Amino acid sequence: NPALTKIGAQMSNLTGVRAIMKDIVETLKANAGQELINLSAGNPLILPAVERLWRDCTADLLASSEYGEVVCRYGSSQGYAPLIEAIANDFNRRYGLKLSDRNILITPGSQTLYFYAANAFGGYTTTGELKQIVLPLSPDYTGYGGICLVPEALIAYKPALDIDESAHRFKYRPDFSQLSISETTGCVIFSRPCNPTGNVLTDEEVRKIAALAAPYDVPVLIDSAYAPPFPALNFTDMSLIFEENIIHCTSLSKAGLPGERIGIAIGNERTIQVLESFQTNASLHSSRYGQAIAARAINSGALAEIAEQVIRPFYQNKFSVLENTLDASMPKDLPWFLHRGEGAIFAWLWLKDLPITDWEFYQELKKVGVIVVPGSTFFPGLKEEWPHKQQCLRISLTGSDEELVTGMRRLAKVAEQAYQGA
């Protein structure tokens, strides 16, 4: 093996959920032929109406004179002009904004966008000061764990817990008594709706975070991979918040186009310019085929319509199936709490005072043919010890209804045994 630099060694380590995926893939291989209920996936399902939409847009592109221009040519780093125009028009009309093309950047997936932002704003300045990447509410997206070339820059804050004991439900809130955003902050990032918890920070909480960051001119990146207008995977009302220091970040991955790698940043011109230059250096630009079909789906209004009428109800129904099954099968006297299902494609279960770790619980569940993701992988940047980190599980809503019902019934039995110390 060639000698690796510090960054090389760091970037060749798998972080968070990617590390667990290896174990899951091996488990699936070792049990081939056996019926395993895999509720670990972050990959959205292929919904027929969504697939049809992208197929139709592709047919339209193929039949147009634009095709050669799209796939046979390099383009600008900022993105394919017709897509940028489609997004500006759509957001201006929907949200009463005055976006111009200079407020928008297209990236190869939104993961890349967070990588650019984390390293443009977080890390050491030319004068040696450490600028932090602040995650205001932990747990949050596991992918934030690997985006920073200076790992010590990533810092996450423990949340406050809103617990409804009798209903066995809870919700995370940002703990504003602890959250610190100051001149040492480089940028702020959070997902809304949140992967893994399904939490949606309230409009007021978002405004408060943006207001804390504004005096220091700190960009606040709102990861809207599950937000409206597409994929519209919010099950509770939420407004999109646009402020001078907010970079609204979205993705077409959960709207049926994960393979085409399309991330979208919307924000002030200065910040977009920084991210665009970073992109020119790192990757030139995103693939143009995906951008050309996305422009069609946004201009016709079909993407937003399918998001609201097909994608959202599909996953909202999955959450109901899961929640009803847990209510019916989890013992009432155990301290289990399901996070309020406010959006995204996951359920988040907290087993308070669990006598075994989340990793051990995951192993026990595997023995009865059910795979979920142990929760401790979703606390990137949270440095302090906190038993809660080892008491949670992420359950993907991408299973069939039957799989969710059977999986949750088995999980209830495993939980009962774990608390009994069996």
Residues found near ligand PLP in the complex (CB under 6 A): 42, 109-111, 141, 143, 191, 195, 223, 225, 251, 253, 258, 263
Minimum Å distance from CB 107 to ligand PLP? 8
Minimum Å distance from CB 367 to ligand PLP? 28
The smaller minimum CB distance to ligand PLP, of residues 185 and 250, is found at 250
Q: What is the CA radius of gyration of the chain?
A: 22
Which helix (H) or strand (E) covers residue 20, if one does?
Answer: helix 17-30
Widest pairwise Cα distance in the chain: 68
The smaller minimum CB distance to ligand PLP, of residues 132 and 253, is found at 253
Rounded to whole angstroms, the Cα distance separating 302 from 412 reads 40
Q: Are 378 and 394 in contact (CB under 8 A)?
A: yes
The smaller minimum CB distance to ligand PLP, of residues 337 and 346, is found at 346
- Among residues 120, 108, 114, the alpha carbon closest in space to that of 140 is found at 114
Minimum Å distance from CB 247 to ligand PLP? 13
Rounded to whole angstroms, the Cα distance separating 194 from 225 reads 9
H helices of 284-400, in order, are 288-299, 302-306, 312-329, 358-367
Minimum Å distance from CB 258 to ligand PLP? 5
Rounded to whole angstroms, the Cα distance separating 195 from 400 reads 20
The smaller minimum CB distance to ligand PLP, of residues 191 and 391, is found at 191
The smaller minimum CB distance to ligand PLP, of residues 251 and 325, is found at 251
H helices of 64-151, in order, are 67-71, 81-95, 110-121
CA separation, residue 209 to residues 136, 188, 190, 202 (Å): 8, 9, 10, 11
Rounded to whole angstroms, the Cα distance separating 120 from 398 reads 35
Minimum Å distance from CB 325 to ligand PLP? 24
The smaller minimum CB distance to ligand PLP, of residues 123 and 263, is found at 263
Minimum Å distance from CB 420 to ligand PLP? 35
Instruction: Point out which residues pair with 143 in neighbouring strands.
Output: none
The smaller minimum CB distance to ligand PLP, of residues 145 and 414, is found at 145
